[in-house]
Amino acid sequence: MSQPAHKRPAVRAQETPAAVPAWGALRYSVFRLLWIATIVSNVGSWMYSAASGWLMTSLNPHPLIVSLVQATSSLPLFLFALPAGALADMVDKRRFILTLEILTTLFSLLFAMLVALHTVTPGLLLLFLFLIGILGALETPAWQAIVPLLVPKQALSSAVAVNSLGVNISRVIGPALAGAVILGFGIAAPFWLDAVSNLGVIGVILWWCPPTSATRTLPAERLASAIRTGVRYARNDRHLRATLVRAAGFFLFASAYWALLPLVARTQLHGTPTLYGLLLGSIGAGAVGGALLIPRLKARSGANGMVILGELGNAAALVLFGLAQQPLMAVLACVIAGSSWILVLATLNVSAQVALPDWVRGRGLAAYVTVFFGTMSIGSALWGFIAGRVGLPPAHYLAAAGALLAIWGTSRWKLQTGPEADLTPSMHWPEPVLAGAVADDAGPVMVTVEYRVSVENRAAFLAALTRLGHERRRDGAYAWGLFEDTAHPGKMLEFFLVDSWLEHLRQHQRVTKADRALEDRVLALARGVPRVTHYVAADSQEPATTEVSGDPQLQ
């Protein structure tokens, strides 16, 4: 099966200083080729999704079992996104993507053959959805992470918008084509077509030569440590955290119509595969229209207003799904749902991208994917269970009520969707001065910074240093604190702990220009030059301490 639509990248050539128009990413030749290839691939992907849902209604029409098609497709991204994000930051992304694309195509061919032989059971269908989903989960953060390698920084919003347009063009075509193909050639045909639709993407990735990355000066991170660092970053970066909260509040309730749509088409509307394909295609058509409106809506209401508009539209669509007794009302609900979906999805995607520096991009996007598909998996199973107990219309009404409550509960978490902070490495921390060699694995390491602060600057200093503390944790510290000398008011001691000496050296490379601006603010509020000292656990390394004075920046 081709890769899930949300992770298809656009592409980069040379950076250009000029602003990029809304659809300006199409000016890059490699982007155009990959964009066309991914439209074809995603047509196959949507055919696979539609055919899987319809096949399950034939094998077992119970609402919970049918909803498990969506839940099983989403679950691997919830379970494996974080280790996949760590891998994306550690390995050659192009080779990683190419390997997983080929494996996905082979698994899809095998499943198509099993469907053609009429040997598929509900359990086997869910198993292949899960296995193919694992491959997609491993690949998703790498796809997301290469976007800044493929487009100039100023074209990031354009790349997301153009990708969304391409995805939703395929969403219009794929499900409708699946319905027609099932009626004309049988249930196995969409799976065969999906299996071969990915070949164009494989060809473009084989041909593409990514820009050369900077040579690493430190050893690669270990997987477990990289995962911990990624989780720590997501927990301590306020912009990414806001994106995750808003994503959970939206996808938990939007999952209801994705999970229950096959049953709406088959049992509530008494329709055929063609009607189900038409409904899925209408979601795609609504998303295309919503994508075209994004620049205008963002200019008028901003990112946060656009997400609220999408959340309100999602609630309205859920009510219409509950009321639908004729195809026309269901189509209207799908158009509203699709446009609302893309308004929220595109905004959250950009918000996650601009919150992340390159060194943690794969892991940070993996956190977003984990929340996205975790809530989709939980929501799909939840709404399937509820629909099995109370029926389809009440389940949609309850989801709509929950969506409205989520708007109220999450609106205080403000999104960042413009490059307001410079997240390029500043490299302004000099190498620590050592009395002797320190092993990479020596640790834990404690770094202290001693400040002197005037009474009149105390409140502003504490506020600025508290923000800096979040950045210390975000970049690798597992503990941070601030103490004041009881005998000398205004004498402050900041400390933070990291796992090892090597992890502290990595901190030197992770500090951004935005971090440096905050450090300069802290230093401007202090008197004199701070005194920086490094301590290594006494049982892990000799000598145990290193000290640097006379440098205003953290060593």
CATH number at residue 525: 3.30.70.100
Average pLDDT on 177-184 reads 82
pLDDT score recorded for residue 546: 47
- Dig out the tokens for 158 from the structure: 């354009």
Tell me which of 313 and 232 has the higher pLDDT.
313
Considering the domain boundaries, does residue 72 fall inside one? Answer: yes
Secondary structure (3-state) at 533: strand
Residue 156: band (very low, low, confident or very high) from pLDDT cuts 50, 70, 90 = low
Q: Which of 54-63, 243-252, 373-382 has the highest mean pLDDT?
A: 243-252
Q: Which of 410, 437, 471 is the last residue of a domain?
A: 410
Cα–Cα nearest to 175, from 287, 58, 254, 65: 287
> According to DSSP H, which parts of 91-198 are helical?
93-116, 122-145, 147-150, 156-185, 189-197
Q: Side-chain half-sphere of 199: how many Cα atoms within 13 Å?
A: 7
Q: Which residues, at least 6 apart from 389, have a Cβ–Cβ distance to it below 8 Å?
A: none
Compute the distance between CA of residue 89 and CA of residue 414 in angstroms, rounded to an integer. Answer: 27
Q: Are both 455 and 406 inside the same structural domain? A: no
Residue 275: band (very low, low, confident or very high) from pLDDT cuts 50, 70, 90 = confident
State the average pLDDT for the chain. 81
Compute the distance between CA of residue 205 and CA of residue 229 in angstroms, rounded to an integer. Answer: 29
Considering the domain boundaries, does residue 420 fall inside one? Answer: no
Average pLDDT on 472-497 reads 89
- Percent over 90 (pLDDT), the chain: 20
Considering the domain boundaries, does residue 416 fall inside one? Answer: no
Is 69 in contact with 210 (CB distance < 8 Å)?
no
Considering the domain boundaries, does residue 147 fall inside one? Answer: yes
The count of structural domains within the chain is 2
Phi and psi for 480 in degrees, rounded to 5? -150, 145
Considering the domain boundaries, does residue 339 fall inside one? Answer: yes
- Dig out the tokens for 423 from the structure: 């997240």
Q: Are both 401 and 455 inside the same structural domain? A: no
Helix 223-236 × helix 361-390 angle, to 10°: 70
Q: Are both 58 and 135 inside the same structural domain? A: yes
pLDDT score recorded for residue 13: 38
Tell me which of 317 and 435 has the higher pLDDT.
317
From 258-267, 415-424, 456-465, 470-479, the region with the lowest mean pLDDT: 415-424
From 127-131, 201-205, 319-323, 403-407, the region with the lowest mean pLDDT: 201-205
Residue 506: band (very low, low, confident or very high) from pLDDT cuts 50, 70, 90 = confident
Considering the domain boundaries, does residue 270 fall inside one? Answer: yes
Side chain identity, residue 106 = L
Q: Side-chain half-sphere of 463: how many Cα atoms within 13 Å?
A: 5
Sheet holding 491-498, edge to edge: 479-484, 491-498, 445-452, 531-536, 545-549
From 53-67, 72-86, 112-126, 421-435, the region with the lowest mean pLDDT: 421-435
Q: Are both 255 and 142 inside the same structural domain? A: yes
pLDDT score recorded for residue 215: 52
Is 106 in contact with 199 (CB distance < 8 Å)?
no
Compute the distance between CA of residue 358 and CA of residue 363 in angstroms, rounded to an integer. Answer: 10
| Residues spanned by the domain of 136 | 5-410
Is 362 in contact with 141 (CB distance < 8 Å)?
yes
The span from the first CA to the last CA of the chain, in angstroms, equals: 49
Considering the domain boundaries, does residue 531 fall inside one? Answer: yes
Tell the residue number behind the tokens 């508290």, with chain if given. Answer: 466
Q: What is the dihedral of CA 469, 473, 476, 481, to 10 degrees?
A: 60
Considering the domain boundaries, does residue 431 fall inside one? Answer: no
Tell me which of 161 and 472 has the higher pLDDT.
472
Secondary structure (3-state) at 370: helix
pLDDT score recorded for residue 284: 79
Tens-digit pLDDT profile for residues 163-180: 777 776 777 787 778 878
Phi and psi for 278 in degrees, rounded to 5? -65, -40
Residue 23: band (very low, low, confident or very high) from pLDDT cuts 50, 70, 90 = low
Residue 314: band (very low, low, confident or very high) from pLDDT cuts 50, 70, 90 = very high
Q: Are both 219 and 140 inside the same structural domain? A: yes
Q: Are both 398 and 449 inside the same structural domain? A: no
Average pLDDT on 141-165 reads 70
From 30-34, 355-359, 418-422, 467-471, the region with the lowest mean pLDDT: 418-422
Residue 308 pLDDT > 70, yes or no?
yes
Q: Are both 225 and 129 inside the same structural domain? A: yes
Q: Which of 355, 387, 410 is the last residue of a domain?
A: 410
Compute the distance between CA of residue 28 and CA of residue 208 in angstroms, rounded to an integer. Answer: 13
Residue 396 pLDDT > 90, yes or no?
yes
Residue 115 pLDDT > 60, yes or no?
yes
Residue 21: band (very low, low, confident or very high) from pLDDT cuts 50, 70, 90 = low
Compute the distance between CA of residue 503 and CA of residue 220 in angstroms, rounded to an integer. Answer: 11
Q: Which residues, at least 6 apart from 510, have a Cβ–Cβ distance to it below 8 Å?
A: 357, 359, 360, 425, 475, 476
Q: Which of 21-30, 86-95, 151-160, 242-251 has the highest mean pLDDT?
A: 242-251
pLDDT score recorded for residue 247: 92
- Give the DSSP letter of residue 554: -
Tell me which of 327 and 350 has the higher pLDDT.
327
Q: Which residues, at least 6 apart from 459, have a Cβ–Cβ distance to it below 8 Å?
A: none
Cα–Cα nearest to 403, from 543, 251, 537, 280: 251
Residue 485's CB is within 10 A of a number of other CB atoms, namely 12
Q: Are both 326 and 452 inside the same structural domain? A: no
Q: Are both 404 and 449 inside the same structural domain? A: no
Is 214 in contact with 385 (CB distance < 8 Å)?
no
Secondary structure (3-state) at 338: helix
Whole-Å CA distances, 53 to 2, 77, 182, 262, 409: 17, 19, 12, 6, 32
Q: Are both 244 and 354 inside the same structural domain? A: yes
Q: Are both 166 and 71 inside the same structural domain? A: yes
Average pLDDT on 331-358 reads 87
- What CATH number is associated with residue 321? 1.20.1250.20
pLDDT score recorded for residue 321: 94
**Phi-psi region at 130: left, alpha or beta (left = phi > 0; alpha = psi -120 to 50):** alpha
Tens-digit pLDDT profile for residues 539-554: 755 544 444 444 445 4
Compute the distance between CA of residue 471 and CA of residue 373 in angstroms, rounded to an integer. Answer: 27
Whole-Å CA distances, 29 to 9, 34, 41: 14, 9, 19
Cα–Cα nearest to 415, from 298, 294, 547: 298
Side chain identity, residue 371 = V
Tell the residue number behind the tokens 């919830």, with chain if given. Answer: 78
Q: Are both 394 and 455 inside the same structural domain? A: no
pLDDT score recorded for residue 398: 95
